[in-house]
Each structure stands twice: as C-alpha cells, then as structure tokens.
A = this chain, B = another copy of it.
Amino acid sequence: MTDPSRDDELVFLPLGGSGEIGMNFNAYGYGPPDNRKWIVVDCGVLFGRETTSPGVDLIMPDIRYLAEQRGDVLGIVATHAHEDHIGAIPHLWPMLRCPIYATPFTAILIEGKLDEVGLSAKVHPRRVKLGGKLTLGPFELEFISITHSIPEPNALAIRTPLGTVVHTGDWKIDPDPLVGEVTDIAALKRLGDEGVLATVCDSTNALVPGESGSEAKVREALTTLIGTCKGRVAVTVFASNLARLETVAIAAKANGRHVALVGRSMHKITDAARETGYLKHFPSLLDEEEAAQLPPNRALYLCTGSQGEPRAALARIAENNHPNISLGKGDTVIFSSRVIPGNDIAIHELHNKLSQLGVEVLSADDHFVHVSGHPCRDELAEMYRWTRPQIAIPVHGEARHLAEHARLARLLQVPQAIVPENGQLIRLAPGRAGVIDEVPAGRVHLDGRVLIDEGAGLARHRRALAFAGLIAITVVLDGKGKVMADPAVVIDGIPEPVHDAIRNALAEPLRRHNPKRDLDGYDLKESLRRAARRAADEAWGKKPVTRVEVVQV
C-alpha cells in the first residue's frame, strides 16, 4: 500500500441507514478533496408505509451527490442479501453504472433483481469468495464472515493508506448458527492487533441488554413446541432466514412431520441456497399438494407472510382461500419471527382471522420461537473489545439507537464516537475525526414504476386526499367571458350529505362574475375555489383539495 499524499483524506459518507433501520447506503471516499475515489457499501431500501407514504412501494436514498461523480465510484459492495442492503441496486445502479461485488449467495439474489428490471445484460455482480479480498483503487477490502439471519453475511475490513475501517454490516454472535459460518472472531481480533481506525457498526439492538441468543436454542424450543401440536402445523418465518428454515425442518423431522414450502419467496431463497451449496443436509421437501394428502399430524407448512403481508401464503390461508392448504380447529400456526414496527395491526388481524378459523396461534409474545439477528449490548461490547477502534461510528439505526450505541462505545473507552446523519461527510483521517461538509441527501420514492423525490411532496399530498377528498370544478366561458352552462363538479371522497352544500355555494361567485372585468375567468376560479372549500368546511369540518379549471370556447 502506498503512502498517503499530503492532501489525501479518508472520508465516510452515509446516505442512508443513519436515522432509520433500513435503506443502508454508505460510501467511503479516499483522496484529495477535489479528486476522491469512492466505494459504496450496500444499497438498500426501506418499505413504504400507507400512513406516511401511501402508494409508495420502496424508499431509497437520494444519491445524486455520488451520481454526479460516478466516474470516481469504483464499485458497490454488498455485505449480504437482505432487502435493506441490496434492494435499491436495480433502481439506483443506472445512476452509478459501476461494478457490483458480493459473495456468491448474495450475488445470485442481486442477479435475480437485475433480471427483473431488464438490467442483467448490462451488469453482472462479480463474485467474491467467503473470506476473499478485493482491491478497488486505494481501498483494499477483506470480507470477514460473520453471523446474521441470512446466509453469507460479511463484515468488511477496508484498508487504506490512512488506516483501516471495520464495517460490520449486520451481525450477531452465535456460537452455533446452524447455517453458515460463526462470526470470525480471530479475524476481527487480528484487525484489532493491526490497529483499527474506525468501527462502523450495526445499532439495531443497541437498546437491548444482554445477548441476542442462539439459533440452536430456538431449534430445541421449536422441537419441543411442535411436539405438543396435534393437528396440522404451519410455521411462518422470514424466507431469507435459511438457518430458521433448517431449524423448523429439523424440528419437524424430529416430530415425524414432512415439510412443504409455501410462498414464492421461500422457493426463490432455497433455489439460491441450493445453487451455492447450502441446504445439503436439509430434509427432503414435499410440495403443497403432497403435504395435503398426509394425515394432519404428519404435515408442516413453512409459510411466507409473518408480517401480515396481504398477498402472502399465510394471509391466504387465514382468509381460507389458499388453493392447497386449509387450516381449522386443532391446527396450529407458529410465528417464528419478530413484529417489524408498523406491522403490529396487520399481524394482529392475521392472528384474529386464524383464531376465528379455530386455529391456535403461537408467537414470540408467549413462546421462545425467535432470536434476533442483530447484536445486543453485550455483543456490541465484544466487537469493541476485538477491534479496539479509535473511532466508533454507529449506523443502521434510528436516532435513539445511534445515540445509545455511541454512549455505550464511549463507556467502553472508545476514544471518539460520532453519531452520523445521512448526508454528513465525515473525515476519518488525518487528524481528529469530524463532520467536514453536508452533501445533498434525502429520500427517493419508487411510486408505481416512477422514481420521485420525497421532497416533491407527492405522497404527502395524497395523504391530504385521503383525509379530505377532492373537488374539481370546471366552468365553461364563451369568448366574451360569459358563463355558458352550470359548471361540472367532481366531488370525490367527501360524504354525500356535504355535496349539496358544496354545489350550492358555487351559485354566488357565478352570479357575481363580471365577464367584462374577468374575461378569462381568473378571479372566478379563485372565488369558486374558496367558496367550495368554505362550504365543505362549514358542513363537514374539513377542507378538501380543490381545483378549478376554466374552458373557454
């Protein structure tokens, strides 16, 4: 590795994930301020929510700052295949057009995503082997196997002439993770011995004391629990949690049950896993039709839909309209998953529907059927003991998680902890680390098939439509400005009893319209708009979005 030039700096730039759990997008820059080379670590999405962003499927970071320098972006490196780390690649790659690097399992899932948007001919993710190395300009990257809730999660050691950054990705400690490697503690300690400038680390569980727990314990508990079930059993899990799929399959087998996978993403993940050599010890699977032929106490369905997703397998079972699976009295559904914030109502509704069918519902609320894939406080403490960085940078968390993580790092004697915000350009070296600039940042919505700036306020405007509906009035004037007919009034999303009040309120502005003074109806438009809104407010207590058009014939 060459020595740094006098002007060289190593900078960290989060554009997503610092302030939210999701939408991870972190860039590292190296070089003089006017000529930095960049690498991007992860490129993920957040899911839209009907409350705050109705009609928005995916939320992604605004990366225009890097897009403007795309000739200097040397690559996107994906730590693992969760949506919040790779989900934005098919949508944002066209702005960067750089190589993509990932370990094999992750690469296959990225390929699938690129294929879905017709980009597979333009870019192929380059495969890096587990524990592999990669040089991108001034950055020397080493992939370090860790444990998480998906196959092939990696931390990255990012070596530069100005020091080494450990970017943890999403991780936990599990001495017995069932699938994949245990966290490569030796490698992390070796880095600590070499000297680590900064550890950029997962904050998801920074508020949770203790340890996240072992998958092997879940296996034991599920084996016992399934043993108590008499009828059909369905278990719903995150499809990407291959270790959990194996846990459930082993627990099923121990109880003489055959497993069928139910739901599209179950098949997508297991196909990718088989292609990369996983699932060799997985018990053989039945298809849905075969499982339906078994006696109830011999079948177990592994289903998608743990978050109450309305079109997933479990929702269809609960609605009793799944083509092959029907559950009822004596059957059991186990939610081997957590409740992602914002999904509680949808999940409760699913519980209720299953309960109304007579199904018994078991979940992490009342049984030990899930462990988190993210490090709790004792695990974070281990990470700082291993890597002994000069700087702690908490990422992958909301403000409260980041703040608490920084507090913990300081307690653990890390000399400096920096809570970053998306868009802050943070110099890591040389000199004392700190924010040196703010670059454009924000969120972009995938709204239908169109990418639009959150700042344009379209989703927010649709919330106004959802609150108070819309009035569209069209008035027809002749060439001399005279009103030619009753206006056309579209009233939408407003209670019937309010309609007459709105229509009646238009008479007065129309009567007062003076064609001579207002030939093109400019003033009339505004007075109609005001009259309609005032009438709605008086009759209803809400002011609808109101649009007035003039057609002149």
Residues of chain A at the chain B interface (Cβ within 8 Å): 19, 49-52, 54-55, 207, 209, 341-342, 344-345, 348, 351-356, 361, 365-366, 398-400, 403-404, 447-450, 452, 456, 458, 461-463, 465-470, 472, 474, 476, 484-490, 492-498, 539-542, 545, 547, 549-553
Contact indicator A467/B356 (Cβ below 8 Å): no
Bound together, the chains give a CA A541 to CA B498 distance in angstroms of 33
Decide if B474 touches A492 in the complex (CB within 8 Å): no
Nearest to A548 among chain B residues (CB) is B490
A399: contacting residue among B342, B355, B542, CB under 8 A: B355
A45 to chain B, nearest CB (A): 17
If A51-B50, A469-B465 touch, whether A341 touches B345 (CB-CB below 8 Å) is yes
Known: A54-B463, A462-B467, A463-B466. 11 other contacts (CB 8 A): A19-B352, A51-B51, A342-B344, A344-B344, A461-B492, A462-B465, A465-B493, A474-B490, A474-B549, A488-B488, A488-B549
User: Known interface pairs A55-B468, A476-B476. Does A485 touch B551 (Cβ–Cβ under 8 Å)?
Assistant: yes
State the copy count for this chain: 2
Assess the A472–B469 pair: CB atoms within 8 A: no
**A413–B105 alpha-carbon span in the complex (Å):** 55
Q: Complex formed: what's the CA distance from A498 to B450 in Å?
A: 9
Q: Which of B365, B447, B492, B541 contacts A470 (CB 8 A)?
A: B492
The 13 sampled A-B contact pairs (Cβ below 8 Å) are A49-B51, A50-B466, A51-B51, A54-B467, A55-B467, A55-B468, A356-B399, A461-B493, A470-B472, A476-B476, A476-B551, A488-B549, A490-B490
A400 to B539, CA, bound (A): 40
Which B residues are in CB contact (< 8 Å) with A476? 476, 551, 553
Interchain CB contact under 8 A, A492 and B466: no
A400 to B352 Cα, complex, angstroms: 5
Min CB distance A549 to B, Å, is 4
A463 surroundings in chain B (CB, below 8 A):
50, 54, 466
| CB proximity of A90 to chain B, nearest CB, Å | 15
- With contact pairs A355-B399, A355-B403, A551-B474 given, residues A458 and B341 touching in the complex (Cβ less than 8 Å): no
Which B residues lie within 8 Å of A356 (CB)?
Answer: 399, 403
> Which residue from chain B places its CB closest to the CB of A399 in the assembled complex?
B352
Contact B492 A541 (CB under 8 A): no
User: Which residues of B have CB within 8 Å of A50?
Assistant: 50-51, 463, 466
A465 to B462, CA, bound (A): 7
Which chain B residues border A498 with CB–CB below 8 Å?
448, 450
Distance between A432 CB and nearest chain B CB, rounded to angstroms: 21
Residues of B within 8 A of A495 (CB): 447-448, 450, 452, 458
> In the complex, are the beta carbons of A348 and B344 less than 8 A apart?
no
B54 contacts A466, CB within 8 Å? yes
Q: In the bound complex, what is the Cα–Cα distance between A400 and B461 (angstroms)?
A: 37
Assembly CA distance A485 to B549 (angstroms): 13
Q: Is the CB of A55 within 8 A of B466?
A: yes
Which of B474, B540, B552 has a CB less than 8 Å from the CB of A448? B540
Contacts of A342 in B (CB 8 A): 344-345
CB contacts (< 8 Å) of A494 on chain B: these are: 458
Contacts of A553 in B (CB 8 A): 476, 484-485, 553
Q: B residues within 8 A CB of A492? A: 461, 465, 470, 472, 545, 547
Asked, given contacts A474-B474, A540-B449, A551-B476, whether A398 binds B467 with beta carbons under 8 Å apart, the answer is no
**Which single residue of chain B is at the shortest CB-CB distance from A497?**
B450
The answer on a CB contact under 8 Å between B49 and A345 is yes
- What 6 A-B pairs come out closest when comparing CB atoms? A466-B466, A54-B466, A474-B474, A488-B549, A472-B472, A448-B541
